Structure 1
Amino acid sequence: MKILITGASGLLGRSVFKLLDSNPELSVTGTAHSRAGDRLLRLDLNDSAAVRETLQKVQPHVVIHCAAERWPDRCAEDPDAAWKLNVRSTEELAQLCSGAGAQLVYISTDYVFDGAEPPYSSDDRPNPINFYGRSKLAGEEAVLENGDHWVLRLPLLFGPVTQLRESGVTALLETLRNPEPVALDDWAVRFPTSVEDVAEVLAQCLQKIRAGSRFAGIYQWSGDTACTRYQLAKMVADSCGLSADHLSGDPAPQFAEPRPRNCQLDKSRLTDMGIVAGESLEKQLARYLAPFL
């Protein structure tokens, strides 16, 4: 089976590429834009001719679309660029994949929900409250309307990073090392999810597809630990042997962009298929932060 991964130089794409590429039964090609090289093809997803040429060259059976603008504040600061990548280029990619006979897997977010009535099943009605969530929901709709494709929604991601600020989770190590007192969000509930776990989930999905299973519509995956940013910072402190005494929790934080309260995702559609992944959040934090201690 031939697999093409967009955004293979990013936080999620790197782990997906690494795991799938280690499977001798798969032929995996990764693409990147600003960080191409090292086995990754340079591809501007906003260049439809280049996308078409890449699909013709690789002839993938499945395209895993990891590339996106995933920072809510950055989306709000430059909405045109975010919409162009998260929606317009995604719609074109879905259409081109359909024409090339490839199935597209679109990586989406828990922020398509408003966070008022968790947990959310894949069939629940989305109601995003910020621009990022609206752009990803529009991307979902574009994908599902333009071929036999499917969506995988994910919450807050973290994992092996090249720099701490690549994930809001690992960035907390810098917050802990700064002795200045700071109040962290103790209102919004998040579910940190390892990109290595997501890669394992995608690998199992591909195995089922190769065995004849059909994937269609919307699927969801999530870590199991619920925590606010303040609670997560204390977990990072415990994992790294650092003090969190200079931190405090803010029960009414002010966000530049609105955040939902709790978008817990129901992942039973995948677990009912026998798909599993994950170890404790504490072990994952310790492993991913060890190189920076």
Structure 2
Amino acid sequence: MKILITGASGLLGRSVFKQLNANPAFEVTGTAYSRTGDNLLRLDLTDAAAVAEMLRKIQPQVVIHCAAERWPDRCTQNPDAAWQLNVQSTEKLAQLCRDIDAQLVYISTDYVFDGSAAPYSVDNQPNPINFYGRSKLAGEEAVLGNGDHWVLRVPLLFGPVTYLRESGVTALLETIRNPEPTALDDWAIRYPTSVEDVAQVLEQCLLKSKAGTRFAGTYHWSGDIACTRYQLAKLVAESCALTADHLSGDSAPQFNEPRPYNCQLDKSRLADMGIEAGEPLPQQLARYLQPFL
């Protein structure tokens, strides 16, 4: 099976590329915009002609669309660029994939929900409360409306990082190391999810697809541990044998951009198919943060 991955230099894309590229069942091509290397091809997703040429050259059967603007505050600060990448380029990619009979897998977010009625099944009505969520929902609609494609929603991601601030989870190590007293959000509930787990899930889905299982519509995957940012910081500190005594919880945080309260994703649609992944969150945190200790 020929697979093309967009955003293969990013937090999620790197793990997806590594996982699939190690499987002899797949012939994998990774693309990136700015951080290309020996194994990645440069691709500007806003250049429709370049995207069409890449698809014509590679002739993938599946395209995994990891590229996105995924930081809510950054989306609000530069909405035109975020909309172009998350929606317009996604719609064109879906159309081009349809034209060559390739299936697009679109990576979306739990932020398509407003967080008021968790857990959310794949059939629940989205209602995003910030620009990032609205852009990703529009991307979903563009994908599902332009071919035989499918969507995988995931929550807060973390994993092997090239620098701590590449994920909001690993960035907490910097907060913990700073001795200044700091109050962290102790209101919004998140479900930290390893990109390596998501990569394993995608691998299992593609193997099932290769064997004849049809994937269509929307699917969810998520870690199982619920925690606020403050609770997560304490987990990070414990995993790294550091103190978090200078940190406190803020039960009424002020956000630059609205955040939903609890967008827990019900992953039973995939779990019922036998899809599984995951190890204890503290073990994952310890492994990913070890290079920075």
Give the TM-score taking structure 1 as reference length.
1.00
Alignment of 1:180-259 (within 5 A): 180-259=180-259
- C-alpha distance in structure 1 between counterparts of 2:23 and 2:276, whole Å: 18
1:53-108 CA-to-partner distances (Å, cap 9, x unmatched) read 00001000000000000000000000000000000000000000000110000000
1:143-180 CA-to-partner distances (Å, cap 9, x unmatched) read 00000000000000000000000000000000000000
Please state how far the C-alpha of 1:237 moved relative to its aligned partner. Answer: 0.5
2:231 is matched by which residue type in structure 1? Q
- C-alpha distance in structure 2 between counterparts of 1:194 and 1:25, whole Å: 23
Please state how far the C-alpha of 1:39 moved relative to its aligned partner. Answer: 1.1
Which position in structure 2 is the counterpart of 1:164?
Answer: 164
Which position in structure 2 is the counterpart of 1:98?
Answer: 98
2:177 is matched by which residue type in structure 1? R
- C-alpha distance in structure 1 between counterparts of 2:177 and 2:68, whole Å: 30
2:98 is matched by which residue type in structure 1? S
Which position in structure 2 is the counterpart of 1:138?
Answer: 138
- C-alpha distance in structure 2 between counterparts of 1:38 and 1:186, whole Å: 42
1:101-120 CA-to-partner distances (Å, cap 9, x unmatched) read 10000000000000000000
Which position in structure 2 is the counterpart of 1:129?
Answer: 129
Which position in structure 2 is the counterpart of 1:267?
Answer: 267
Please state how far the C-alpha of 1:47 moved relative to its aligned partner. Answer: 0.2
1:45 is matched by which residue type in structure 2? L
1:250 is matched by which residue type in structure 2? D
Please state how far the C-alpha of 1:38 moved relative to its aligned partner. Answer: 1.9
- C-alpha distance in structure 2 between counterparts of 1:268 and 1:26, whole Å: 26
Give the SS at the match of 1:199.
helix
Give the SS at the match of 1:287.
helix
1:63 is matched by which residue type in structure 2? V
Unaligned runs of 5+ in 2: none
1:183-223 CA-to-partner distances (Å, cap 9, x unmatched) read 00000000000000000000000000010000000000000
Please state how far the C-alpha of 1:37 moved relative to its aligned partner. Answer: 2.2
- C-alpha distance in structure 2 between counterparts of 1:227 and 1:38, whole Å: 38
Q: Percent identity among equivalent residues?
A: 79
- C-alpha distance in structure 1 between counterparts of 2:161 and 2:283, whole Å: 16
- C-alpha distance in structure 1 between counterparts of 2:24 and 2:271, whole Å: 25
Give the aligned length.
Answer: 293
Give the SS at the match of 2:218.
strand
The answer to whether residue 283 in structure 2 is matched with residue 283 in structure 1 is yes
Which position in structure 2 is the counterpart of 1:113?
Answer: 113
Give the SS at the match of 2:151.
strand
The answer to whether residue 82 in structure 2 is matched with residue 52 in structure 1 is no
Please state how far the C-alpha of 1:22 moved relative to its aligned partner. Answer: 0.4
- Could you list the structure 1 runs, at least 4 aligned residues long, displaced by more than 4 angstroms after superposition: none
- C-alpha distance in structure 1 between counterparts of 2:190 and 2:57, whole Å: 40
Please state how far the C-alpha of 1:121 moved relative to its aligned partner. Answer: 0.3
Unaligned runs of 5+ in 1: none
- C-alpha distance in structure 2 between counterparts of 1:43 and 1:207, whole Å: 26
Give the TM-score taking structure 2 as reference length.
1.00
- C-alpha distance in structure 1 between counterparts of 2:208 and 2:20, whole Å: 14
1:107-140 CA-to-partner distances (Å, cap 9, x unmatched) read 0000000000000000000000000000000000
